[in-house]
Amino acid sequence: EPEVTQTPSHQVTQMGQEVILRCVPISNHLYFYWYRQILGQKVEFLVSFYNNEISEKSEIFDDQFSVERPDGSNFTLKIRSTKLEDSAMYFCASSAGTGDTGNTIYFGEGSWLTVV
C-alpha cells in the first residue's frame, strides 16, 4: 500500500539552528500538508501546499517556517531558527486532488524534533 515517508525519524538540534524535515508524499497525490503534535497535545495543522504554492496556513506557520517541493517527489519543511517550543512531532501528509474536500489525508510516521 502506498505510504507517506518521512526523514529523519528523530533529530536533535541546538536552539537557533536551521532544520529541514523531508517527506515523500504518495506519488499520485496533489495536496501536501505539515502538521505538528507537541508532546501530550493535539495534532495541529501548519500548512497545506498545492500546485507549488501554499494554499492554506495556520497562525503557527509564521516567517520562521517555509515549505518547498524541490523536485517531483520531495516535500520539505524548513524551520529557519529553531526555538525550544518547536520541539514536537512533525507529520507530513498528502491527499488526492479531486475537488472533494472529503478526501482522505494520509499521514507519515512523523519526524520527532527535539530542540535543546
Partner 1 sequence: AQSVTQLGSHVSVSEGALVLLRCNYSSSVPPYLFWYVQYPNQGLQLLLKYTTGATLVKGINGFEAEFKKSETSFHLTKPSAHMSDAAEYFCAVSGTGRRALTFGSGTRLQVQP
Interface contacts to partner 1, rule CB under 8 A: 4, 31, 33, 35, 41-45, 48, 55-56, 58, 91, 95, 100-110
Q: How far is the CB of 39 from partner 1 (least distance, A)?
A: 12
Q: How far is the CB of 26 from partner 1 (least distance, A)?
A: 13
For residue 113, list its beta bridge partners. Answer: 11, 88
Q: How many angstroms separate the CA atoms of 12 and 59, rounded?
A: 25
- Grid cell at residue 74: 520531495
Nearer to partner 1, 24 or 105 (CB): 105
Q: How many angstroms separate the CA atoms of 76 and 61, rounded?
A: 14
For residue 116, list its beta bridge partners. Answer: none
Q: How far is the CB of 81 from partner 1 (least distance, A)?
A: 25
Nearer to partner 1, 29 or 79 (CB): 29
